[in-house]
Amino acid sequence: MSTLILIRHGQSIYNLENRFTGSLDVDLTALGKQESELAAQKIMNFKFDFAYTSTLKRAKESLQIILTTIHQNNIKIIANQALNERNYGSLQGLNKAETIAKCGFKQVEIWRRSYNIRPPEGESLEDTYNRTISFYKLEIESKLKSNKTILIVAHGNSLRALVMYLENISQEEICNLNIPTGVPKKYIFDENLKILEVRYL
């Protein structure tokens, strides 16, 4: 059996300010750091072989807090932009409420929640899925088949894409899926990567 733990980074400054963050590199808030510490408490009993994260500092800092808290700073960390948050294009940095007031709720929801519609100059969830899952298949699946225990700390949309792949969620259903910040999700697989258990910790 192998184990995979997914954690969305703790609250960022732009999460707090209700802004589209996307590929912008923003810091964690004090609450975000606390969320990372609390996430670590829930996975204290796992011994990880590898840890993966994005190239954005809110995810990297969350991972560092987690590994320090669980005393596993010596494991190999792989940071790759394939795990970065979805690029929201010209929406990045804008306040979500102000954008709704300007463009309408229905249009903003289409940009945010649909699977294959891109926001202006940005990525769709489908684009994010393609890069995230390509990396997962190339880099991580073989390790899970070798019974490794792996931690991934990334972002709401890159993790939505990964959950969509792992749990065979449809394009329609994925629109309603949210990944909470700082809450570990555990997968246990058999030798063929069939899911034996999945739950939030």
Q: What's the pTM value of the predicted model, to 2 decimals?
A: 0.96
Domain segments of the chain as ranges: 2-200
The Cα 132–Cα 85 span in angstroms is: 10
Catalytic residue among 17, 37, 71, 85: 85
Residue 98 has a pLDDT of 96
pLDDT digits (tens, 9 = 90+) for 104-147: 999 999 999 899 999 999 999 999 999 999 999 999 999 999 99
Distant-in-sequence, close-in-space partners of 71: CB < 8 Å, separation ≥ 6: none
Structure tokens at 39: 């996430």
Mean pLDDT confidence for 22-46: 97
Predicted pLDDT of residue 160: 97
> Which spans in 43-181 are helix H?
57-69, 96-103, 105-113, 125-135, 141-145, 156-166, 171-174
Q: Is 10 exposed, middle or buried (0-12, 13-18, 19+ CB in 10 A)?
A: buried
Which residue is catalytic, options 9, 35, 123, 155?
9
Residue 155 appears among annotated catalytic residues: no
- Neighbour count for residue 48 (Cβ, 10 Å): 18
Distances in Å between the alpha carbon of 146 and those of 50, 96, 149?
12, 43, 9
Please state, in angstroms and as integers, the Cα–Cα distance from residue 135 to each residue in 50, 80, 197, following that order: 15, 9, 23
Eight-state DSSP code of residue 95? B
Structure confidence by residue, pLDDT tens digits, 58-104: 999 999 999 999 999 999 999 999 999 999 999 999 999 999 999 99
Q: How far apart are CA 36 and CA 62, in angstroms?
A: 5
Residue partners of 106: CB distance under 8 A and separation at least 6 = none
The arithmetic mean of pLDDT across residues 168-190, rounded, is 95
Beta bridge mates, 3: 149, 188
In the CATH scheme, what is the code of domain 2-200?
3.40.50.1240
